[in-house]
Structure formats: structure tokens, C-alpha cells
Chain A
Amino acid sequence: MGKTLQKIKVSTVNEMPKNLGKTVTIGYYEIALFHLANGEFRAIENRCPHKGGVLVEGIVSGDHVFCPMHDWKISVKNGEVQKPDNGCVKTFNVEIEDGNVYIVL
């Protein structure tokens, strides 16, 4: 039957500068992993629904990232594109354990 969830170690908390993203590819998934100003980690699909812009390179403000291509504003918490644009980006769960960062797939 279906697959079980896996926790995959992708980085350490120390290696991730705040308010910046890191590109993580796991198999065919390309994920943008963000270390937010408040210390949280968030992971979303690295592809803006507009024209496929690489979100990992966007400017991060609070819970949002601004696509570097055409400035779409996207929530890194739920993947939702903010008005007036529409769309949604896939999100992934992130877990932190002993200073390691895991993405759950």
C-alpha cells in the first residue's frame, strides 16, 4: 500500500542563516527551506505558481517570502499566495531535533 512518512535530515540549525532560504532536493522534489527570524523553520515547494520562480532566493519577511521573479507574496506557513494574486504552493513539515533539521516526506 502507500508509503510511510520519512524524516530526512537536511541541515543543522547552525548552518542556516536567519531570514534566508536553502535549496533542498530530495528525489524529484525541489524544496525551499527557510529559517525565519523567529527561529522557526518552514519548507515549501521551490516554485512560484506564477512562472515557476525559485522561491528560495526570495526576500523573507515574517511568515512570507517574496518571489524574486515578479514579487508575488507567498506564505511559508500554508503556501498560500497573497492577494491580489492567486494560487498555492505545496508545503512540507519540518522537525527540529538536537540541532538537526529534518523534512518529513
Chain B
Amino acid sequence: MAKQKLALIGNGMAGVRCIEEILKIQPERFEVTVFGSESHPNYDRIQLSNVLQGATTIDDITINDWNWYKENNITLFSGETVTNIDTTKQIIYSDANREVQYDQLILATGSIPFILPIKGADKKGVTAFRNIEDCEKMIEYSKNNKKAAVIGGGLLGLEAARGLLNLGMQVDVIHLSEYLMDRQLDPTAGKMLQRELESQGMNFHLGKQTQEVLGEIGVKGLRFSDGEEISADLVVMAVGIKPNVQMAQNCGIPVNRGIIVDDYMETRIPNIYAVGECAEHREMVYGLVAPLYEQGKVLAKRICELDGKAYEGSVLSTKLKVSGVDVFSAGEIFEDEKAKSIKEFNEWNGTYKKVMIRNGKISGAVLFGDTKESNNLLSMINKNADVSEYLKVGTSGEPSVSLVASMSHEEIVCGCNGVTKGDIVTAIESNGLTSIEEVKGCTNASRSCGGCKPLVADILELTLGAEFSELNQKESICACTTLSRDEVVAEIREKNLTHTREVMNVLGWNTSDGCSKCKPALNYYLGMIHPVEYEDEKESRYVNERLHANIQKDGTFSVVPRMYGGVTNPDQLRKIANVADKYNVKLLKVTGGQRIDLFGVDKEDLPKVWADLDMPSGYAYGKTLRTVKTCVGENFCRFGTQDSIGLGIALEKKFERVGTPHKVKMAVSACPRNCAESGIKDLGVVGVDGAWEIYIGGNGGTHLRAAELLCKVKTSDEVIEITGAYIQHYRETANYLERTSVWVERVGFDTIKTIIGDKQKRIELNQRLDEALSVLQEPWKEIIESNAIQTGLFQKVKIPAISNK
């Protein structure tokens, strides 16, 4: 039987998502043709703001690459726009003079950005923020221009503004309303958001209407209706979107604001459907991702002629994707006579919560500063939960299990990957899964942003019952074993195990050779337990540590020579410059830890580069002491009370090269102004008049954590003694890949303080650390001097093109 012809107009998230659903249900039934005006494969438009903000790349946001279309036998006409549809003969016409017959047709033409109809809106330097080209244009502009103006203080405008800040531009945001994100937030939350973004460097013009874009050919500035003018080289219009329905309308498909569809996404023309932003359902047009997924699912079932639930509309919810700002909003957000709210406002911490109640049911919520409750609240709003349930949840201490229990199987748990509760429960039951990792591996849930992890854990607990809580008591080091870190370390000590393979054999690993998680972990534990005898296994090291350089995305490496305490001299700088010239280094960059990073070195050239540099390795790649950042200190600074550079160098020289569970960063500041940022380091030292304060467990990474004051000592020798004990205690008790910030919280700050405070323990810890330090050698030098290592690890084989006989 000939396959049915299914056509999709619009190669975006909504349409392709629906095709994916159809392929899941009936992979063989249709011959699929896709038309897309953009010349890219299907990408995640929501992530464009992250591309602009530099958090990810365009490659990273591709959802389905060219191969996907090929593998699924989908004919894709990209960069081609459909101009007409003959809805009677069922034929599509494109601007490339193509005619395609269809049996079923999905319209997913999305929406187009709204451009204000003001004078000068067509000038060079005015752009929307909607697609990859817009994004690229903004990046390009930022290279030669300083000032950007963003019109629109809504979600998209603020995300664009944050991106432009990241690109080094000054940013003015112009907004019609008196407060930001007025569609999603109330004035309280809007003002809090404004303060936060002002502290990030944005400048706001609120209650302003833009009247004209100024400039000759290119943009020079903006004039508002009150006559005020500002200068700008780039204008981004982010004032909203409108459904892209022109083509559908021309073909006689009934359109209101969007293409009118029923509860099964059918238009009023036979065999034509619409999903996503171009569709209007029960007088609602959606511009968010969750509704597209729901609509896509319903339509897929319809097209495959399966009985399925009707689409009944979606609750709107929003999260702002701007780093450092947590904002969530869902459902209705404004009080009136009938709708009441529960509010919590903490000006000190900068958090705000408002939960809306209509007729005794939870109907909406706004969260600012702390959005942990967002998943729970969204779920309650979705199922119209009773306020008593919310209040019960708020006090019972263990809210989420009951919440997950009441979720329907169709409800989406992982919004990034569109995984439903049903998908997860089925995967757990049919594959015997017991951990979040396994669920992640099997269903992709929580693989992207990780926000739904708590929900996945609750579903596991709910599905497995008592079995789960038992399993959950201990976390195994990876899927190859059920043993925890502490059990493995205890067994290694007790049975005196000396090789990773031996550990795996003796302790009954369920794989013969381990995996990328347990191999490096075991290698570390063995080295920590037997510092002198253990021979480090290069093959159990991640590439950066094996090759003593950082791998970059193109397969080249970057190299950081050590500069103790961030101090250098003309000789070193000359050497670095010469090496950069000789090996065509692509980028020279000063790192956050006050050193110089040389990028783009080929693997084979690494030993030569190190030999020419003739400096020690800076271990920018290592699970070890990275760098000790210092401020200028007493010799030059007006405020410096202590010799921070001297102490920084002493610390770095003493503790360099020793392996730790994760990287360790230190800093020494010479006064409470703390120019070396000691408050967010694994170990930070702050000099005050006549003493040093020692702080531990700080982190400036993904989970920002302020370090805690461990103690105050008089001399730099004492600082070194305390630091030694601290590092060794961390080496001996932390899980592999656990930063001190997490370790301090898990083990308890007071416990650590007590151990380090015990003179006898401190001496013992330092003795064990000194033993470990005694056998370490400079790795770059070792490699330069060993032909065997160079041949085995660094040399490539190159054979010229073979002849074709």
C-alpha cells in the first residue's frame, strides 16, 4: 500500500515536535515532507537568548540535525517558503516553483516579530530578536558599536538586553509600562527585577513610548513621545509577536488572530491542521513551549487516527532566562474582588512569593528570587488544586510525593525534553530503574537543565515505594557497582587493593572494565590511600589530566604555565610571547586565576611548547590546586596590611600538584577589601592588621557559595599548617568530583572545624599530606624528558592519501 503523504509547513519546534510524536506512534505510515523558510535544521528557539548571552552556541541548540531528517526519510525543503495551497486539490506551491501533493497537512508557521510602525523603523541597525540571523546580527554589531537600545521590557527584551551586556555593550531598555514584565509579574516583583537588573548594569526608561528612530542611514538614537532623546547604535525591538497567518489566510483557511483550530488542532478545512504559535485555540494564541508539546501530542494521535484526549488549553507559565535572576510566573497573577492571594515578601533576602486563589482553588503564582516551588505550583495550577492542599503541602515538610501522585500520566515532567510522568513510570517499571541517573539515561528526563530532578526523584520513590528509600540511603559511585564511595574506600584499605582492575574484580563490579565515572574515581582513591606506592593510571584519567592540557571543542589544546601567586616578569612574558608566535597560538587570554592561557595548540606540539616555555605546569586542567590568587598587598597598596603575594606564592609552592577530589582554588587578600576574592574560594585568606582570617568552602561557580570563617591566626606559618590539614582532610573524606563547597555542607562545617582545631589531628593530617607531596614531579618536564610518553600519548600517525588502484 502506498504511504500517505503528510506535509508540514514550518520547520520549527511545534511542527517538528508533532512529526516526532507521529514517528513514535506509526513510523512507517507516512511519507513526510517539510518546508522551512529558514535555512537551518530545526533548532530550539527558546535557547537563542542563551546563545546571545554566550552560555551556549548555535550548534548546541540544534534539536534535529540534517541527519535526523535523512534517517527518518523526511524530505526537507529548507530555505524555501510556501506561497500557496490549493485546499481542494490538496497541493502545496513554494517560491521555488515546487508542487507537493498532500493527504494531510500541518501548518506550523509560527509567528513573526512585531515591528513598531514608527518613523525610522526601517533604518540600518534596527532588528528584531527572533531567529539565528537576528542573533548573529546583534553579535556582529556588538563588535564595533557601544550603545544598544532594547524596546520592550518583557521576557524577550530583557533576555536580549542581558545578552547585549554580555557582548560588552551599554544597554538601555525602554518599556511602555511603569514596571518590567508587566504581563507576567505584579508591580512588586517587577520592581525587584528592575533593581536586580540595574545592579547587573542595565539602564531603564519606564513609562516611555518610542516615537522615532533617529539617524541618517544607520541608527543614531531614539526619540520618545515626551521629547526626550537617547543615543544608540543598535535598536532591538522586542515588543511582541503575532501569529504568522498571512499565507493561510490567502488560501481561505479561516483565521482570527491565529489560524482557528478545534480541540484536535483541526482547522475548518478538511485534512489541514495547525499547531504552535500560528494556531488559535479557544481564542488563545500561545507563544510558549509547553503548549506546543501538548498540542503536538494531541495532533499526532489525531493524524494517526487513534483515540486521544482533546486539547483543552494550557496554563501559561514563564521563567526568565537571565543569569543571576530567578523569576517564575504562572496562571493568573492579579488580585481582584474574587481572587485573593497569599504573599511572602522578604526584602532582606530579595525574595517574593505570591500564590493566587480563586474560588478556593490555586489559580496562579509569582515567584522572585527563589523559584524552587515553581514545579509544584505549576502542577497545582494545572489541576486546579484546592487551597487546602497547598497549605497542607506548605507545612507537611514532605510535599512533593503526594503532588507527584496526583499528577496524570500525560503531564509533562521534563519541559526541556518533553518527557511525561507516564514515560518515566513506564521506563522505571519495564527496565527496573532505581536511580535518577538511570531514568536520565533511559528517558532523557532531567538531562538538559536539571530543573525537574526533584520531581523525577519523587516519581522514583512513588513507583518503587519502600524499595526506593532503601536504595536511596546510599549512592553508589556509578552504575557499575552498588557500593558507595565510603564502602569502596574502606574495602581498598582493608583488602589492600592496588589497581583499578583489581578493585573492580574483587568488589564484584558488574562491568569488566568500568566506565568513565568509576575509572577516574578509583584511580584517585587508590592514589590517595597509597600515595607513595600507587602508580597513576594514565588510561583512567580524563584527557585533560592525561595530556596535562585542556582540550577545546575543536580538539586542540590550551596550555597554562604556572605563575606563582599571579606574579610574572619580563623574561617569562617574552618567552610566552615567543611561543605564541612560533606555534601560531590562536588566543592568549588572562584567566580568572591571574595566569596566561595559550589556546589552539595541537596535541603533537604540546611537548615542544612546554620545552620552549620552560616553566612549570599551571595545572589549569587538574583536580588539584589550580592557582592562588593574590592582591597587591603591603608593598604597594595603600590599604594592604599584610604580604599577600608572599603568602600566596608560599601556599602555591607548598601545595601544587597534589591530587584532590576536585579542583581547588585559593586566594590571599591583604585587607578586608578582598581584591583577591577570598570569600568565594575553596580556601580564602584575608589579612587584617596583625592577623590572617581563614575562610573555607567558598565557590564562585555554578553554585555560588560564600566561604565560612574557619579561624583567625597570627602567622603565615599557621596559615600553611591549617591549609595543609584542611586539604588533606578534604582529600581523605570527599567524594571524587565533590567540590569543597558541597563537601563542607555534607560533612558539616562544625565537624570540619573541630577536626582542624585539634592540634594532634592537624599534625597527623599534615604528615600524610607531606608524604603525598614528597613523590610528585613536574609533569611537563617528565614528558619532555621521556620519549616513550611522547610516542605513546602525543604522537599522531600521518599517512598521505592512498592511491586508488
Query: Which A residues have a C-beta under 8 Å from some C-beta of B?
Result: 3-4, 6, 8, 10-11, 15-20, 22-28, 33, 37, 49, 51, 53-54, 57-62, 64, 66, 68-69, 71, 73, 83-84, 87, 105
**Complex partner residue of A61 from B60, B519, B541, CB under 8 angstroms:** B519
A50 to B799, CA, bound (A): 27
| CB pairs A–B below 8 angstroms (17 shown) | A3-B805, A17-B793, A18-B539, A19-B539, A22-B797, A24-B799, A25-B798, A33-B797, A53-B555, A59-B515, A59-B539, A59-B542, A69-B551, A71-B516, A84-B441, A84-B442, A87-B67
B404-447 Cβ-contact flags toward A at 8 Å (1 or 0): 00000000000000000000000000000000000011111001
Nearest CB in chain A to that of B541: its residue: A59
**Complex partner residue of B514 from A49, A58, A61, CB under 8 angstroms:** A61
Classify chain B: how many residues form its interface, as a range. 35 or more
Task: Say yes or no: B516 contacts A66, CB within 8 Å.
Answer: yes
Is B717 an interface residue, CB under 8 A from the partner?
no
Please indicate the chain B residues that have their CB under 8 angstroms from the CB of A19 in the complex: 513, 539
Nearest CB in chain A to that of B603: its residue: A23
Task: Say yes or no: B444 contacts A84, CB within 8 Å.
Answer: yes
B340-362 Cβ-contact flags toward A at 8 Å (1 or 0): 00000000000000000000000
Shortest C-beta distance, B195 to chain A (Å), equals: 37
Task: Say yes or no: A10 contacts B799, CB within 8 Å.
Answer: yes
Please indicate the chain A residues that have their CB under 8 angstroms from the CB of B520 in the complex: 59
A25 to B778, CA, bound (A): 31
Nearest CB in chain B to that of A101: its residue: B797
Task: Please name the 4 residue pairs, one residue from A and one from B, whose CB atoms are nearest each other, closest first.
Answer: A27-B801, A66-B516, A19-B539, A62-B513
Please indicate the chain A residues that have their CB under 8 angstroms from the CB of B447 in the complex: 84
A73 to B513, CA, bound (A): 14
Please indicate the chain B residues that have their CB under 8 angstroms from the CB of A22 in the complex: 795-797
Interface Cβ pair total, 8 Å cutoff: 104
Task: Say yes or no: B804 contacts A3, CB within 8 Å.
Answer: yes
Nearest CB in chain B to that of A71: its residue: B516
Please indicate the chain A residues that have their CB under 8 angstroms from the CB of B519 in the complex: 59, 61
Please indicate the chain A residues that have their CB under 8 angstroms from the CB of B804 in the complex: 3
Q: A19-B539, A59-B519, A84-B441 are in contact. List 5 more A-B contacts (CB 8 A).
A: A3-B805, A6-B805, A51-B60, A59-B516, A59-B542
A27 to B25, CA, bound (A): 44
Nearest CB in chain B to that of A9: its residue: B799
B437-461 Cβ-contact flags toward A at 8 Å (1 or 0): 0001111100100000000000000
Task: Say yes or no: B799 contacts A68, CB within 8 Å.
Answer: no
Given known contacts A8-B799, A22-B796, A68-B551, A62 and B441 CB-to-CB distance under 8 angstroms: no
Please indicate the chain B residues that have their CB under 8 angstroms from the CB of A73 in the complex: 515-516
A104 to B478, CA, bound (A): 37
Please indicate the chain B residues that have their CB under 8 angstroms from the CB of A66 in the complex: 515-516
**Complex partner residue of B793 from A20, A26, A33, CB under 8 angstroms:** A20
Nearest CB in chain B to that of A11: its residue: B797
A37 to B539, CA, bound (A): 10
Task: Say yes or no: B539 contacts A25, CB within 8 Å.
Answer: no
**Complex partner residue of B797 from A18, A24, A51, A83, CB under 8 angstroms:** A24
**Complex partner residue of B547 from A10, A28, A57, A61, CB under 8 angstroms:** A57
Which residues 547-599 of B have a CB within 8 angstroms of A?
A: 547, 551, 553, 555
Task: Say yes or no: B796 contacts A25, CB within 8 Å.
Answer: yes
A-side interface mostly: loop
Please indicate the chain B residues that have their CB under 8 angstroms from the CB of A83 in the complex: 441-442
Task: Say yes or no: B543 contacts A57, CB within 8 Å.
Answer: yes
A17 to B546, CA, bound (A): 13
Which residues 50-91 of B have a CB within 8 angstroms of A?
A: 59-60, 67
Task: Say yes or no: A27 contacts B802, CB within 8 Å.
Answer: yes
A15 to B792, CA, bound (A): 6
Nearest CB in chain A to that of B556: its residue: A54
Task: Say yes or no: A28 contacts B513, CB within 8 Å.
Answer: no
Please indicate the chain A residues that have their CB under 8 angstroms from the CB of B796 in the complex: 22-25
A104 to B799, CA, bound (A): 13
Is B183 an interface residue, CB under 8 A from the partner?
no
Please indicate the chain B residues that have their CB under 8 angstroms from the CB of A17 in the complex: 538-539, 792-793
Please indicate the chain A residues that have their CB under 8 angstroms from the CB of B511 in the complex: 61-62
A19 to B543, CA, bound (A): 12
A40 to B797, CA, bound (A): 19
Is B363 an interface residue, CB under 8 A from the partner?
no
Please indicate the chain A residues that have their CB under 8 angstroms from the CB of B512 in the complex: 62
Is B800 an interface residue, CB under 8 A from the partner?
yes
Shortest C-beta distance, B519 to chain A (Å), equals: 6
A52 to B542, CA, bound (A): 18
Please indicate the chain A residues that have their CB under 8 angstroms from the CB of B542 in the complex: 59, 68
Is B540 an interface residue, CB under 8 A from the partner?
yes
Task: Say yes or no: B799 contacts A26, CB within 8 Å.
Answer: yes
A8 to B447, CA, bound (A): 42
A60 to B507, CA, bound (A): 20
A24 to B603, CA, bound (A): 13
A37 to B801, CA, bound (A): 31
Shortest C-beta distance, A12 to chain B (Å), equals: 10
Task: Say yes or no: A6 contacts B60, CB within 8 Å.
Answer: no
Given known contacts A59-B542, A84-B442, A84-B443, A28 and B516 CB-to-CB distance under 8 angstroms: no
Task: Say yes or no: A6 contacts B797, CB within 8 Å.
Answer: no
Shortest C-beta distance, A96 to chain B (Å), equals: 15
Shortest C-beta distance, A39 to chain B (Å), equals: 13
A40 to B680, CA, bound (A): 48
Given known contacts A17-B539, A37-B513, A84-B443, A26 and B792 CB-to-CB distance under 8 angstroms: no
Is B715 an interface residue, CB under 8 A from the partner?
no
Task: Say yes or no: B799 contacts A16, CB within 8 Å.
Answer: no
Task: Say yes or no: A61 contacts B797, CB within 8 Å.
Answer: no
Is B144 an interface residue, CB under 8 A from the partner?
no
Shortest C-beta distance, B159 to chain A (Å), equals: 24
Please indicate the chain B residues that have their CB under 8 angstroms from the CB of A105 in the complex: 802
Is B395 an interface residue, CB under 8 A from the partner?
no
Is B791 an interface residue, CB under 8 A from the partner?
yes
Please indicate the chain B residues that have their CB under 8 angstroms from the CB of A15 in the complex: 791-792
Task: Say yes or no: B799 contacts A51, CB within 8 Å.
Answer: no
Please indicate the chain A residues that have their CB under 8 angstroms from the CB of B553 in the complex: 51, 69
A64 to B804, CA, bound (A): 32
Nearest CB in chain A to that of B800: its residue: A27
Nearest CB in chain A to that of B792: its residue: A17
Please indicate the chain A residues that have their CB under 8 angstroms from the CB of B540 in the complex: 59
Given known contacts A59-B539, A61-B514, A6 and B802 CB-to-CB distance under 8 angstroms: yes
**Complex partner residue of A10 from B67, B501, B797, CB under 8 angstroms:** B797
A9 to B340, CA, bound (A): 79
Please indicate the chain A residues that have their CB under 8 angstroms from the CB of B793 in the complex: 17, 20
For A26, A59, A84, the residue with the greatest tally of chain B CB atoms inside 10 Å of its CB is: A59
